[in-house]
């Protein structure tokens, strides 16, 4: 694995070996050390958990981390980022963790990069993909529910604009979960799906689900013709006590964060006994350790 850009570039075996490695890291207090590896974070979009999680993951593996503050730079085009990366690579940085609002930019950068020792990691590109989030979500589901092929999984919310949902969909397709329901009001439904079934009925979607994944209402991504009244959203789609009662009694409740509390998820659910939201955050560090290690080891092959 030279780059980590999209779930559909991973085989089922690679997915499980990342999960197993991450679960192994979770049980250890001493980790392997890769002090020669230099990792730069280039976040052109806001982030708390993903950026910190990658940085902690690199630090745990004794990699050198360089956090580049791009927040106030002029909005970059592919070419400019490409120059930035070449400049940093000339200084010996090998791994670039990139978040950008432009769909498929990490892939474009990877395509233009001919040095085998450079690794591009997609930390979220536009509405397209967020593969490390999907991997940490899978890890959390395996940890809590064990056999993915026996599960009914429901994703609820603004699926059309969600890079998390996109990557999860590919992940669930690759590991062949038993049933995947994608629940959203019509304006937020995906235009087409390769896996899973789309419904606008929360009751149908959640019925007997083992795993319920809520998504953030991404107000910043909605065009004027894609608005959906939030009071109405709460009434029909929010993860409330009454609504999650349609899922199995031992269903786990997930959310990638950041959450709009009391909009798409009630606080009593987010903080309740079925919630594994903080487990997701915790697992994120171990999963990103597994990802960074795998990329770093690719140099030695
Ligand atoms: C997500 C993201 O940025 O794509 N958050 C995250 O990385 N955990 C989801 C979101 O923004 O709603």
124 lines ligand 1 (CB under 6 A): yes
Confidence tier at 74 by pLDDT (50, 70, 90): very low
Q: Whose alpha carbon is nearest atom 7 of ligand 1?
A: 50
What tokens were used for 301?
């092959």
Each residue of 178-219: pLDDT tens digit? Answer: 999 999 999 999 998 999 999 999 999 999 999 999 999 877
Q: How far is the CA of 118 from the centre of ligand 1 (A)?
A: 25
Residue 6: predicted pLDDT: 98
Q: How far is the CA of 141 from the centre of ligand 1 (A)?
A: 18
163 lines ligand 1 (CB under 6 A): yes
pTM: 0.95
Q: Could you say which DSSP state residue 261 is in?
A: B
167 lines ligand 1 (CB under 6 A): no
Contact in structure between 284 and 15 (CB atoms under 8 Å): no
161 lines ligand 1 (CB under 6 A): no
Residue 75: predicted pLDDT: 43
CA distances for 184 relative to 74, 150, 155, 165, 204, angstroms? 35, 23, 8, 12, 11
Confidence tier at 46 by pLDDT (50, 70, 90): confident
Confidence tier at 228 by pLDDT (50, 70, 90): confident
Residue 80: predicted pLDDT: 78
Mutate which of 124, 128, 217, 265 for ligand 1 pocket (most atoms within 8 A of beta carbon): 124
Instruction: Sheet with 179-183: list strands edge to edge.
Output: 197-199, 179-183, 152-156, 211-214, 252-254
Confidence tier at 78 by pLDDT (50, 70, 90): low
Residue 301: predicted pLDDT: 58
Each residue of 193-204: pLDDT tens digit? Answer: 999 999 999 999
Higher-confidence position of 147 and 299: 147
Mean pLDDT, to the nearest integer, of 59-71?
A: 88
Residue 189: predicted pLDDT: 95
Q: Which helix (H) or strand (E) holds 216?
A: none
Whether pLDDT at 264 is above 80: yes
Contact in structure between 58 and 83 (CB atoms under 8 Å): no
Q: What percent of the chain has pLDDT over 70?
A: 95
Q: How far is the CA of 36 from the centre of ligand 1 (A)?
A: 30
Q: What is the CA radius of gyration of the chain?
A: 19
99 lines ligand 1 (CB under 6 A): no
Q: How far is the CA of 256 from the centre of ligand 1 (A)?
A: 6
Q: Which of 26, 41, 22, 34 is nearest to 61 (CA)?
A: 34
């Amino acid at each position: 694995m030279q780059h980590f850009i999209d779930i559909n570039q991973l085989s089922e075996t690679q997915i499980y070996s990342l999960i197993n490695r991450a679960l192994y890291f979770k049980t250890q207090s001493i980790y392997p050390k890769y002090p020669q590896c230099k990792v730069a974070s280039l976040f052109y979009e806001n982030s708390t958990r993903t950026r910190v999680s990658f940085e902690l993951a690199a630090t745990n593996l004794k990699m050198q981390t360089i956090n580049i503050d791009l927040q106030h730079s002029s909005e970059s085009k592919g070419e400019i980022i490409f120059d930035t990366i070449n400049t940093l690579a000339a200084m010996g940085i090998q791994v670039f963790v990139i978040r950008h609002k432009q769909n498929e930019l990490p892939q474009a950068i990877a395509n233009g990069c001919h040095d085998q020792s450079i690794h591009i990691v997609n930390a979220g590109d536009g509405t397209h993909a967020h593969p490390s989030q999907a991997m940490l979500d899978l890890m959390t589901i395996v940890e809590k529910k064990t056999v993915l092929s026996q599960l009914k999984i429901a994703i609820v919310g603004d699926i059309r604009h969600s890079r998390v949902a996109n990557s999860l969909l590919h992940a669930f397709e690759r590991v062949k979960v038993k049933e995947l329901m994608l629940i959203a009001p019509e304006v937020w439904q995906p235009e087409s799906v390769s896996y899973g079934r789309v419904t606008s009925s929360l009751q149908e979607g959640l019925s007997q689900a083992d795993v319920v994944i809520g998504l953030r209402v991404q107000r910043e991504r909605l065009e004027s013709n894609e608005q959906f009244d939030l009071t109405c959203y709460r009434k029909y789609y929010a993860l409330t006590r009454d609504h999650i009662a349609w899922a199995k009694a031992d269903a786990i409740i997930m959310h990638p964060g950041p959450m709009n509390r009391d909009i798409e998820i009630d606080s009593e659910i987010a903080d309740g006994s079925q919630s594994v939201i903080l487990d997701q955050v915790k697992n994120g560090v171990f999963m990103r350790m597994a990802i960074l290690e795998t990329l770093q080891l690719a140099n030695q092959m």
